[in-house]
Amino acid sequence: MVKVRTKDLIEKFDLELISGEEGINRPITTSDLSRPGIEMAGFFTYYPAERIQLLGKTEMSFFEQLSAEEKRDRMDQLCTDITPGIIISREMEVPQELLDAAEREAVPVMRSSMKTTRLSSRLTNYLEGMLAPTTAIHGVLVDIYGIGVLIIGKSGVGKSETALDLVKRGHRLVADDCVEIRQEDQGNLVGTAPELIQHLLEIRGLGIINVMTLFGAGAVRSYKKVTLVVNLELWDQAKQYDRLGLDDEKMKIIDTEVTKITVPVRPGRNLSVIIEVAAMNYRLKKMGVNAAEQFSSRLTDVIEDGDHDDM
């Protein structure tokens, strides 16, 4: 599925379309941009034709020094049937040779008032966000003390009810039931709610409730970095659960590994408080304070002292 087309850039960055309107539906498949300086000099061996081509003051100044025949040749080679568009920055004049070549190949030629470096940075950030790998996970995403906690577990285990309790305690809901996650760069996962179910929670017995309407705008947020995964599972008597917290379990989402905690569910356990404390404890660990390691270290000291006393 095509995520970005040339017309999206025109709308997003308020670009002036000069020529090649027939090509505005061309797909953009990479967030990399090309500043074709070496191509202006005539070297097209490694020309990345599938990228957005950005012409700044440097490229245009060099172009002006070429002969009429060279100008036509460079622009003919610059405009291909897969080039999604050519953008000229700083509202510079568009050469006639470019307009002629662009019309023949239906390549959109656009103009921006922004400086080249600033435009390049903004285009790259936008395209990286739009073209990032994405996945959808069944769960609930809540912002707890600034930590993005993804609550997962089998259907009916109490994910949404726990999220409701967390919202009542002052935390913020990002998404319920389906969390769309995109990997913006290595190790950075951002979760959002599908537009259809934004700000909504489904509570069995109550139905669908609007968290923003009930609790106010401060109870929701539109996106959050996923930092911690809490897996809720029904208590299994035969299973050994982690009682110290020394072993860090991981869950792989797209290409990123996220810390995962498994919390057993049974009557009498206050899940919202447990998850709240898990988020605070995770923050402490990141700051270098690890209660489990401190306890383990103390225990080792006590055992060693005991051994010395026996001697």
Q: Is 289 annotated as a binding residue?
A: no
- List, by residue number, the catalytic residues: 138, 159, 177, 243
Question: pLDDT tens digit string along 49-88?
Answer: 999 999 999 999 999 999 999 999 999 999 999 999 999 9
Determine whether the annotation assigns residue 260 to a binding site. Answer: no
pLDDT band at 304 (very low <50, low <70, confident <90, very high): confident
User: Dihedral, CA atoms, 164, 169, 172, 176, nearest 10 degrees?
Assistant: -10
pLDDT of 42 reads 95
User: Residue 307 pLDDT more than 80?
Assistant: no
On average, the pLDDT of the chain sits at 92
Q: What are 157-171's pLDDT values in tens digits?
A: 999 999 999 999 999
Distance CA 10, CA 17 (A): 7
Single out the residue of 10, 75, 68, 65 nearest to residue 36, CA to CA. Answer: 75
**Greater model confidence, 192 or 287:** 192
| List of long-range contacts for 122-126, beta carbons under 8 Å, 24+ apart | 122/13, 123/9, 123/13, 123/33, 123/52, 123/54, 123/87, 124/31, 124/32, 124/33, 126/9, 126/12, 126/13
Q: What is the pLDDT of residues 198-257, one digit of tens each?
A: 999 999 899 999 999 999 999 999 999 999 999 999 888 777 777 666 677 899 999 899
Q: Please, what are the domains in the chain?
A: 6-130 (3.40.1390.20), 134-295 (3.40.50.300)
Q: Is 187 annotated as a binding residue?
A: no
Looking at residue 177, what is its pLDDT? Answer: 93
Is 155 annotated as a binding-site member? yes
Instruction: Give the pLDDT of residue 310.
Output: 61
Is 154 marked as binding a ligand? yes
Residue percentage of the chain with pLDDT more than 70: 96
